[in-house]
Amino acid sequence: MNDTNENPIYELKPEINFCTCGCEARLVKERSAESEKGKLRYVVRCLDEICGHQGRYTQYPWQAILEWNKSPMSEFPEDFQIPFMNLAGLSGEEIRQRLNEHRMALEQKIKQLRAEKVSGNTEEMKIARLQLMWVIYAQSWAKLKFPREDELNPPERNAETPAPTGQTQEA
């Protein structure tokens, strides 16, 4: 897992997925309201104003892209690749397991860094957090692409409450 530390941060920059309406989306930088101290924030928004799709506001630009990419408002690319993981030749279930393991390892690492009082501004922390966002994005892709049987046929009693599973667990 340590080999991933050598990834320069720019390799983690995500491409912005297309909107499900077929239009391109772009990253927008805005200033928040005075009440929030007018801080800069980022969001990805569909270029078609009538469509109106937009992702979550975030503090960092790449985070906004990954939030958009994993949302149901954007299309996953045909050729899905994670810059720091090679999933070639694995079955769907293996991919999902690898992603789960990687996510847990990253969450552990971030916890460890925090315990050591490593600043969020260090390269190591930034990379770990970006990789975690990437893995969460990849998990939403893998879930759609390689659904498990129970995800295809949800138990009947849940049929009326299709609660979306919260995937945005903050570490």
Taking the complex as a whole, the smallest distance from the CB of residue 49 to Zn ion amounts, in Å, to 9
Residues 49-61: b if buried by 16+ CB within 10 A, e if exposed:
eebebbbbbbeeb
Task: Give the nearer residue to Zn ion in terms of CB position, either 52 or 147.
Answer: 52
Taking the complex as a whole, the smallest distance from the CB of residue 24 to Zn ion amounts, in Å, to 9
Task: Give the nearer residue to Zn ion in terms of CB position, either 24 or 101.
Answer: 24
DSSP string, the chain: -GGGGGS-GGGGPPPPPPBTTS--EEEEEEEPPGGGTT-EEEEEEES-TTT--B---BSSHHHHHHHHHHSTTBPPPSS--BTTB--TT--HHHHHHHHHHHHHHHHHHHHHHHHTT--TTSHHHHHHHHHHHHHHHHHHHHHHHS--HHHHS--GGGTT--PPP------
Question: Residues 14, 66: contact at Cβ < 8 Å?
Answer: yes
Taking the complex as a whole, the smallest distance from the CB of residue 19 to Zn ion amounts, in Å, to 3
Taking the complex as a whole, the smallest distance from the CB of residue 45 to Zn ion amounts, in Å, to 9
Task: Give the nearer residue to Zn ion in terms of CB position, either 48 or 107.
Answer: 48
Task: Give the nearer residue to Zn ion in terms of CB position, either 71 or 139.
Answer: 71
Site string for Zn ion, 16-55 (x = CB under 5 A): ---x-x-x----------------------x-x--x-x--
Taking the complex as a whole, the smallest distance from the CB of residue 128 to Zn ion amounts, in Å, to 32
Site string for Zn ion, 53-92 (x = CB under 5 A): x---------------------------------------
Where does this chain bind Zn ion (CB under 5 A)?
19, 21, 23, 46, 48, 51, 53
